[in-house]
Amino acid sequence: MSPRKKKVEWKRADGRELNELRPIKIESGILPNADGSAYIEMGRNKIIAGVFGPREMHPKHLAKPHMAVLRCRYHMAPFSVDPRRSPAPSRRDNEISRVMRYALEPAIFLERYPRSSIEVYAEVLQADGGTRCASINAATVALVDAGIPMRDLVVACAAGKMDGRIILDLGDYEDKKGEADVPVAYMPKLGKVTLLQMDGVLSAEELEQCIDISIEGCKQIYEMQREALKKKYGIEEEET
Amino acid sequence: MSACFESRDLVIPGDVLYEGRIRTGDNTCRAEGKVCATRIGLVNYGHGSVSVIALEAGYNPLVGDLVVGEVIDIDLGHWIVDIDASAEAVLNVPDAIDAPFRPDIVMPDILDVGDTIVAKIVDLDRRRTPILSILGRGLGKMEEGLIIRITPSKIPRLIGKKGSMVNMILKETGCMAVIGQNGRVLVQGRTREQEEMVVNVVGKIEREAHTTGLTNRIQEYIKQMKEGGN
């Protein structure tokens, strides 16, 4: 029971390095009925995002005369967690919907479509920590797939602290047992942060460290988003 | 002052296409002295300008466009028509029957909710609402046919250079078609099989719009389908 024994081998629950992402798989254009769509697997998270628009805003009194309205809906399926959750939108769903909107808005040329709406739906099929980041990643790919003009892609990734160590891309266990969680959304080409939340207790230096490694993580995810977007056209490209 | 990609490379929103002064074309924006892409598409450098040919884009209504739309509402003196744009289009009574509006006109007798029309955009008003007209040859209410929806940015590919692609398809399949610039294609054939052949061909064009030598490949494809059917 000596304290030394605990210190020797500190490993993350799933054996990852401190700054290692979970395995990610992204696909674009998977739903023919939506204008744009994407599917993401980030570790054990499974999320589908669909985009409609720009189209006429209903109800009309909510339309803005000088720009489009971005409407986001984040929703967790009843079977996405154990035990089953109620399918009704919860307080948390509403928060994440809003946070997604704030994260995506700076990237979209909303002013080009006055009086119309762009709708983003993120449906969590399976949750395993960091769904808000994964939803943003999927929503960006879906927005590009819908042909909505954008300044840059938005990439999101969380960092946090567990057992006094700063770690990247927290899973469900680390999210719950850890000391802090910092989701960051980032526009890699413009170098701008569009979302920064913090849950837990961190010192100023630790927070900066968290932001730095999550931006590093974002840059890795950005490459995967690019791959996913190109893959939709890649197969035919080789024929020429 | 340099190009960052080769012409016809696939680019993604945010990609820097050019550093320095240059004219910017479609689907590009200027940011901090650089020209960036705003849509996924193929970059095109030429004649002192840079543009992106979008692979995915919504329909942007322009005056003179031929569109296929659906009547979704009747208002006093005008119909509201869905043309898949960011705003719903308006068809005024004088643009539909070539006579001024009178209160005794029974509007649903002329066009009812759910009717499909082929119309021309004659104007964009101050709110950028498209104003339609169905007066003219080939325009008006359509009673028969099949509607195919494709990405509006791929319509030029479906038409081809001076209509080479669409003429070839119509000749080979024996169908009639109205190609709306808004991505709705109205196909009228003598038999269901003919129409389905066009549906398959348009689907193939949509998937392979960004490749070269498409017209010849489509011709082969139609030939294969004809042989398979017989």
The answer to whether residue A46 sits within a structural domain is yes
Of the partner residues B38, B55, B88, the one whose CB lies closest to the CB of residue A149:
B38
Residues of A in Cβ contact (< 8 Å) with B59:
none
Please say whether the dihedral angle defined by the alpha carbons of residues B58, B64, B68 and B74, taken in this order, is positive or negative: positive
Give the CA-trace dihedral at A28, A31, A33, A37, to 10 degrees. -40
* Chain B contact for A102 (CB, 8 A cutoff): no
**CA–CA separation, B82 vs B87, rounded Å?**
8
Give the one of A147, A152, A190 whose C-beta lies nearest to B39's C-beta.
Answer: A147
pLDDT digits (tens, 9 = 90+) for B66-118: 999 999 999 999 999 999 999 999 999 999 999 999 999 999 999 999 999 99
Same topology between domain B2-54 and domain B146-229:
no
Average pLDDT over residues A94-107: 96
ipTM of predicted complex: 0.89
Beta strand spans in chain B (E)? 2-3, 10-11, 16-19, 23-24, 28-31, 34-37, 41-46, 49-54, 66-75, 78-82, 89-92, 116-124, 130-133, 140-142, 146-149, 176-179, 184-188
In the CATH hierarchy, which top-level class contains the domain B66-142? mainly beta
Per CB-CB distance under 8 Å, the chain B contacts of A230 are 10, 12
What CATH number has the domain bearing residue A114?
3.30.230.70
Confidence category of residue A239, pLDDT binned at 50, 70, 90: very low
Average pLDDT, chain B: 91
What is the pTM assigned to this prediction?
A: 0.91
Residue A84 lies in a domain: yes
Taking the domain B146-229, which CATH number applies?
3.30.1370.10
Q: Residues B12-71: pLDDT tens digits?
A: 999 999 988 889 999 999 988 899 999 999 999 988 899 999 999 999 999 999 999 999
Per CB-CB distance under 8 Å, the chain B contacts of A115 are: 86-87, 127
Please tell me the total count of domains within chain A: 1
Distant-in-sequence, close-in-space partners of A6: CB < 8 Å, separation ≥ 6: none
Give tens-digit pLDDT for A116-157.
Answer: 999 999 999 999 999 999 999 999 999 999 999 999 999 999
Domain span at residue A222?
A: 14-234
CA separation for the pair A83, A127 (Å, rounded): 12
In a domain, A169, yes or no: yes
CATH topology of domain B2-54: OB fold (Dihydrolipoamide Acetyltransferase, E2P) (2.40.50)
Domain ranges of chain B: 2-54, 66-142, 146-229
Residues of B in contact with A153 (CB under 8 A): 12-14
Looking at the partner chain, which of B14, B16, B208 has a beta carbon nearest the beta carbon of A236?
B208
Is residue A194 included in any domain, yes or no? yes
Would you say residue A185 lies in a domain?
yes
